[in-house]
Chains A and B, each alone.
Chain A
Amino acid sequence: MTYEPPITDYDYIVENCTCAFCGCNCDDLDYLVKDGHVVAVRHACRLGASKIMEDMDQRLLVPMIRDENGELMEVDWDTALDKAAEYIANSIRPVFYGWSETSTECMKEGLALGEYIGAVLDNQATICHGPSLQAVQNAGYPIQTLGEVQNRADMIAYSGSNAMNSHPRHMARYAVFCRGYFRQRGRFDRTVVTMDPKFSDTAKCSDKWIGFEQNGDYGFYNAIRAVLRGKELYQDVISGIPKEDIYELAEEMKNAEFGVLFFGLGLTHTLSKQRNIDIAIKMVQDLNKYSKWGLTPMRGHFNVNGFNIFMAFETGFAFGVDFARGTTRYMMGETNTIDLLVRKEPDCFMVIAADPGAHFPNGANQHLADIPVIQIDIHWGPSTELADVVLPGSFIGVECDGTSYRMDGVPIYMKKAIDKPETCRDDEWIVRELKERVMKLREEPNVAPKYVPNSNLDLAM
């Protein structure tokens, strides 16, 4: 890394802004603003700083519609919104996907539209921490806020997560290097263990690296559980780890005063998927018999947790919620975006603040190429190439304000620091406009004439 001189040429500073990158939602950022642009960011990591500073890189600035020749043509806002509303109003199985990089205020509008028209609302959890949510539904969810980790934790384990690269300030601000009330010497007061087949950058700065073999996660955690429950291990090597090491690690974990397991997609997306998380959760539950342990999924986008929380309090389900029949319905493997697309069910797809073009499996993207796709985003991406209508939004936490939820569920108000480009609109405004236009085009389908309570409630009525 070469030395970069500090930026001195700026008009003013906006303090305590919130980073709109990963699930750490660092809220201590200072933006240095010149001529209406952020020219430097203090306190942020490289990922966050570059996202904020290079906000004009490949920026979508004007609404576009794909014409009959397959070219995206610039149009005015009214035309673009009308076209998008028409696609939604004429569909019978619309899917609204994304939401993890926008505010809960915007989600509120999207949910109202989805409930009205009978759409499926889903977010990136369906392709990232979905297995974690499934496991939480199987086994429980012993978590803690990040400040609790900072103040108390003396043992930190990262599993299937390379925090150093994916959440660069996680270790510095919340978990490892920072001083805590009961951990005054910061890093020296903590034992850091990385459990990962890869000798990652996180492993490099850990005290211990457990390099179990690929897809060996389940066997490894199962072995630790067995040891915690006083069982003897019969195999000498489990998941590539000698059993002596497992005994030693289990003993260390039992003796920690406060331990936390942070896990990432390396754990959710190997062979046993949600079962890996199941067993990790159960291990943490077992550990609480001896000391205090918790875990936290390393959520990727800054508001991916927010969508799950938002949907849970609005509808009772966290993601993949289907309103097609006028009821709320959630069924893993049935009402999730990838499953729907692979079955070629959707006939209209709205993607907001996400990039399925880059992240979805080929089969799903093939269907996206066949149906109308509406994109609301701030940057060009592969999804733009799939889109039939492009609606340029604005940057939450920089150009407009909104609420997000950190990976541990702490709500953060992200304030506005600079003005958005004149031709762009706030996500919330765009979705509200779409809602109002769709409501004019089509009457609400699947409305029951009268409220009928669910018989499971066993009400005396």
Chain B
Amino acid sequence: MMEYILKNGIVYDPANGINGEKKDVMFKDDIIVDEVSADAKVIDVTDKIVMPAGVDPHAHVAGPKLVVGRLYRPEDSRMGVSQKTKVLRSESGFSIPSCPTTGYRYSRMGYGTVVEAAMPPLEAKHTHEEIATIPNIDIPALPLFGNNWFVMEYAKDKNIEDLAAFISSWLKISKGYGVKIVNPCGSEAWGWGMNVHGYDDKAPYFDVTSREVVMALAEANEMLGLPHSIHIHPNDLGHPGNVPTTLETLDSVKNIKKSSKATIRDQVMHVTHLQFHSYTGNSWKDAGSGAVEVADYINKHDHITCDVGQVTFDETTTMTADAPMEYDLFKLSGLKWTNKDIECETAAGIIPCIYSKKSPVSTLQWGIGLELFLLINDPWKVCLTTDHPNAGPFMRYPRIISWLMSNEKRQDMCENEVHKWIYKRTTLPTIEREYDFYEIATITRAAPAKIYGFEDRGALTPGYKADIAVYDINPNDIDPSKQALDIEKGFTVADYTIKDGQILVKDKEIVKVKESQNIWVNVKGWERQEQKVIDNIMPFFTQYYSVKWENYPVQDHYVSNPIRVDVEK
């Protein structure tokens, strides 16, 4: 039995309303407690920031498209190479780091949980093999449902009960956490080289609209009472003039009632990388920011949460299940384009992308991201992401934090670094809001944990997991609006990262590597309906899938040591 006291730290724990109080944080083995014996080891963190370990609500860190990215971009892998040490394996990669590197870098930033945002069920075994290779962080994965043929059929028939049973069953089969929807009906249309345009466009052949699919999935999600709401990447990503589609998507689920079982979250829909969905205009020539409108909608409605997908001005690798959009990017940039269609389920595309400060479009995207952060009033409704690696690598979170905390830094960048579109096409230079540490702790930990319905992390509540980060920043002695670089430095490497009560980072060095855990949702009480659904789809599956049913599910040994979240009926 090990007991520790983190002494005299300045604690930011938004879930418990603790805003910069000087107090001790105690944990026993892997659990936070409110008192320890006299034998407890004391770790002196006087005047340093103490927060729950970070929770990343949306990143692409493990799975088939990541591996294709690494395989076909050795130039990216070479960017991050470092030598092995007694504790660490050799690192590689910048925007698409190798699996061990991913774990190390998150750990250094004080993160403890990262959600892998897109898992095709057919290749779920692959995703889980990678998750098992990433150390130090817990990784739930969201299976893709938005273009699944069965889902589209259920949605067309408005058969919500069978759809719910299907979701419940597929979460077990793929060991997934929640319902991810990517460009609903659009990726299916991409099977024929097409896309859908707008929320009410139909998928070819299936004769069902994006709206019908999303609403059906939202209803089924609430019928099951899953801890997380539906997690959507709406249609028309990255297209100028997509604001109406985005707002229609957000508005369509406002009358769907949240399940009474989902006690932690407030939302019925989480919209991801909203920055890419907030463009006005008709083409890139007259594109502008729609952030004001979108943020206004979110401020006025409580059924929506979002993460931003902030552009960081790096050379990165875009990858998404929104495959037609990736082909559009290929037509724009001509860089090496990768595509991966998955039978009966989804598609994916990958293309390298260079976000440059000199580029008007990149500048516009950067501005929109920050506008969303600054215009959405309630930090519980917005999370910090870069949609890693799409808008930038996750390593840049500290830099984004420094931008959010310093108007001076932003003004300086607008004036001296980025393209002049920032003045013409966005309102960013007129926004003076600056985040404080409490709000930063909210958007990087507390809010994502709440949105996902985690009952064991994202706060320093006694009984929760001892996932804690300590940063070498003294809030009483720093002026974030004037010291942006110091803020970035402080959040780049944590002084301590503690995961499940184990000290992984100590004095800014990784001292220990531990096995990661997958988190998946097990819905109880639907077994009869699940069997019925499986029996019904079996003839189809046998005929049209290229693997046998026996080989389809993720066998238990691929998910060693998982955390199972049970949902009672």
Residue from A18, A104, A316, A330 within 8 A of B551 (CB atoms): A18
In the assembled complex, the Cα of A442 lies from the Cα of B339 at a distance in Å of 45
In the assembled complex, the Cα of A323 lies from the Cα of B544 at a distance in Å of 43
In the assembled complex, the Cα of A313 lies from the Cα of B398 at a distance in Å of 25
In the assembled complex, the Cα of A148 lies from the Cα of B342 at a distance in Å of 6
A137 contacts B72, C-beta separation under 8 Å: yes
In the assembled complex, the Cα of A257 lies from the Cα of B192 at a distance in Å of 7
Which of these binds chain B: A2-10, A198-206, A405-413, A427-435? A405-413
Q: Does A145 contact B (CB under 8 A)?
A: yes
Q: Does A151 contact B (CB under 8 A)?
A: yes
In the assembled complex, the Cα of A301 lies from the Cα of B542 at a distance in Å of 25
Q: Does B300 contact A (CB under 8 A)?
A: no
In the assembled complex, the Cα of A148 lies from the Cα of B546 at a distance in Å of 8
Chain B residues with CB below 8 A from A150, complex form: 343, 544, 546
In the assembled complex, the Cα of A109 lies from the Cα of B389 at a distance in Å of 29
Q: Which of B78-106 contact A (CB under 8 A)?
A: 78-86, 88-94, 96-101
Size class of the contact patch on chain B = 35 or more
A413 contacts B551, C-beta separation under 8 Å: yes
Which of these binds chain A: B122-130, B212-220, B246-254? B122-130
A308 contacts B71, C-beta separation under 8 Å: yes
In the assembled complex, the Cα of A18 lies from the Cα of B72 at a distance in Å of 28
In the assembled complex, the Cα of A15 lies from the Cα of B92 at a distance in Å of 41
Nearest to A311 among chain B residues (CB) is: B71
Q: Which of B466-504 contact A (CB under 8 A)?
A: 485, 488-489, 492-493
Chain B residues with CB below 8 A from A16, complex form: 548, 550-551
Chain A residues with CB below 8 A from B330, complex form: 140, 285
Shortest distance between the CB of A11 and any CB in chain B (Å) = 21
Q: Does B36 contact A (CB under 8 A)?
A: no
Residue from B79, B129, B350 within 8 A of A403 (CB atoms): B129
Residue from A181, A308, A328, A409 within 8 A of B92 (CB atoms): A328
Q: Does B327 contact A (CB under 8 A)?
A: yes
Q: Does A450 contact B (CB under 8 A)?
A: yes
Chain A residues with CB below 8 A from B94, complex form: 456-457
A330 contacts B126, C-beta separation under 8 Å: no
B89 contacts A27, C-beta separation under 8 Å: no
Residue from A28, A152, A309 within 8 A of B71 (CB atoms): A309
Size class of the contact patch on chain A = 35 or more
Chain B residues with CB below 8 A from A181, complex form: 344, 543-544
- B-contact 0/1 string along A402-425, CB 8 Å cutoff: 010100011111000000000000
In the assembled complex, the Cα of A153 lies from the Cα of B85 at a distance in Å of 50
Chain A residues with CB below 8 A from B331, complex form: 289
Q: Does B399 contact A (CB under 8 A)?
A: yes
In the assembled complex, the Cα of A328 lies from the Cα of B99 at a distance in Å of 13
- A-contact 0/1 string along B115-150, CB 8 Å cutoff: 000000011011001100100000000000000000
Q: Does A79 contact B (CB under 8 A)?
A: no
Q: Does A291 contact B (CB under 8 A)?
A: yes
In the assembled complex, the Cα of A43 lies from the Cα of B178 at a distance in Å of 37
Nearest to B491 among chain A residues (CB) is: A460
Chain B residues with CB below 8 A from A403, complex form: 125, 129, 558
Q: Which of A267-323 contact B (CB under 8 A)?
A: 285, 288-292, 294, 308-309, 312-318, 323
A315 contacts B337, C-beta separation under 8 Å: no
Shortest distance between the CB of A39 and any CB in chain B (Å) = 22
In the assembled complex, the Cα of A145 lies from the Cα of B65 at a distance in Å of 13
A140 contacts B72, C-beta separation under 8 Å: yes
In the assembled complex, the Cα of A15 lies from the Cα of B541 at a distance in Å of 17
A327 contacts B90, C-beta separation under 8 Å: yes
Chain B residues with CB below 8 A from A292, complex form: 190-193
A179 contacts B336, C-beta separation under 8 Å: no
A316 contacts B543, C-beta separation under 8 Å: no
A258 contacts B192, C-beta separation under 8 Å: yes
Q: Does B433 contact A (CB under 8 A)?
A: no
In the assembled complex, the Cα of A258 lies from the Cα of B192 at a distance in Å of 7
Q: Does A1 contact B (CB under 8 A)?
A: no
B338 contacts A141, C-beta separation under 8 Å: yes
Chain A residues with CB below 8 A from B550, complex form: 15-16, 27
Q: Does A240 contact B (CB under 8 A)?
A: no
In the assembled complex, the Cα of A290 lies from the Cα of B125 at a distance in Å of 34
Q: Does B64 contact A (CB under 8 A)?
A: yes
Which of A28, A173, A258, A459 has the largest number of chain B CB atoms within 10 A?
Answer: A459
Residue from B67, B84, B547 within 8 A of A412 (CB atoms): B547
- Mostly, the A contact residues are mixed
Chain A residues with CB below 8 A from B337, complex form: 140, 142, 285
Q: Which of B520-552 contact A (CB under 8 A)?
A: 543-548, 550-551
Q: Does B70 contact A (CB under 8 A)?
A: yes
Q: Does B555 contact A (CB under 8 A)?
A: yes
Q: Does B395 contact A (CB under 8 A)?
A: yes
Q: Which of A320-378 contact B (CB under 8 A)?
A: 323, 325-330
Chain A residues with CB below 8 A from B133, complex form: 313-314
In the assembled complex, the Cα of A304 lies from the Cα of B40 at a distance in Å of 52
Shortest distance between the CB of B51 and any CB in chain A (Å) = 19
Q: Does B66 contact A (CB under 8 A)?
A: yes
Nearest to A448 among chain B residues (CB) is: B83
Nearest to B352 among chain A residues (CB) is: A140
Residue from B79, B92, B327, B395 within 8 A of A317 (CB atoms): B92
A461 contacts B546, C-beta separation under 8 Å: no
Q: Does B424 contact A (CB under 8 A)?
A: no
A312 contacts B67, C-beta separation under 8 Å: yes
Chain B residues with CB below 8 A from A294, complex form: 339, 341
| In the complex with contacts A147-B544, A318-B71, A451-B88, A456-B79 CB distance below 8 A | yes
Residue from A152, A182, A454 within 8 A of B80 (CB atoms): A454
A27 contacts B551, C-beta separation under 8 Å: yes
A151 contacts B83, C-beta separation under 8 Å: no
In the assembled complex, the Cα of A198 lies from the Cα of B327 at a distance in Å of 35
Chain A residues with CB below 8 A from B77, complex form: 315-317, 328, 330
Nearest to B124 among chain A residues (CB) is: A411
Nearest to A18 among chain B residues (CB) is: B551
Residue from A140, A146, A327, A459 within 8 A of B492 (CB atoms): A459
Shortest distance between the CB of B98 and any CB in chain A (Å) = 4
In the assembled complex, the Cα of A257 lies from the Cα of B80 at a distance in Å of 42
Shortest distance between the CB of A379 and any CB in chain B (Å) = 26
A314 contacts B80, C-beta separation under 8 Å: no
Q: Does B295 contact A (CB under 8 A)?
A: no
A447 contacts B86, C-beta separation under 8 Å: yes
A447 contacts B547, C-beta separation under 8 Å: no
Chain A residues with CB below 8 A from B86, complex form: 447
| In the complex with contacts A137-B72, A294-B341, A309-B336 CB distance below 8 A | no
Q: Does A241 contact B (CB under 8 A)?
A: no
Shortest distance between the CB of A153 and any CB in chain B (Å) = 11
In the assembled complex, the Cα of A447 lies from the Cα of B83 at a distance in Å of 7
Q: Does B354 contact A (CB under 8 A)?
A: no
Residue from A115, A148, A411 within 8 A of B123 (CB atoms): A411
B191 contacts A453, C-beta separation under 8 Å: no
Nearest to A325 among chain B residues (CB) is: B83
A409 contacts B544, C-beta separation under 8 Å: no
A457 contacts B80, C-beta separation under 8 Å: yes
Chain B residues with CB below 8 A from A227, complex form: none
In the assembled complex, the Cα of A140 lies from the Cα of B493 at a distance in Å of 35
B99 contacts A411, C-beta separation under 8 Å: no
Q: Does B510 contact A (CB under 8 A)?
A: yes
In the assembled complex, the Cα of A309 lies from the Cα of B351 at a distance in Å of 18
Which residues of B are interface residues toward A (Cβ below 8 A)?
A: 62, 64, 66-68, 70-74, 76-86, 88-94, 96-101, 122-123, 125-126, 129-130, 133, 190-193, 205, 327, 330-331, 336-344, 350-351, 395, 398-399, 485, 488-489, 492-493, 509-510, 543-548, 550-551, 555, 558
12 intermolecular pairs with C-beta atoms under 8 Å apart: A136-B72, A140-B336, A174-B546, A309-B71, A314-B98, A314-B99, A330-B77, A413-B551, A447-B84, A450-B85, A454-B91, A460-B489
Which residues of A are interface residues toward B (Cβ below 8 A)?
A: 15-16, 18, 27-28, 104, 115, 133, 136-148, 150-152, 173-174, 179-182, 257-258, 285, 288-292, 294, 308-309, 312-318, 323, 325-330, 403, 405, 409-413, 446-454, 456-457, 459-461
Q: With A151-B343, A459-B395 given, can you name 4 additional A-B contacts, CB distance below 8 Å?
A: A291-B193, A313-B70, A316-B76, A328-B91
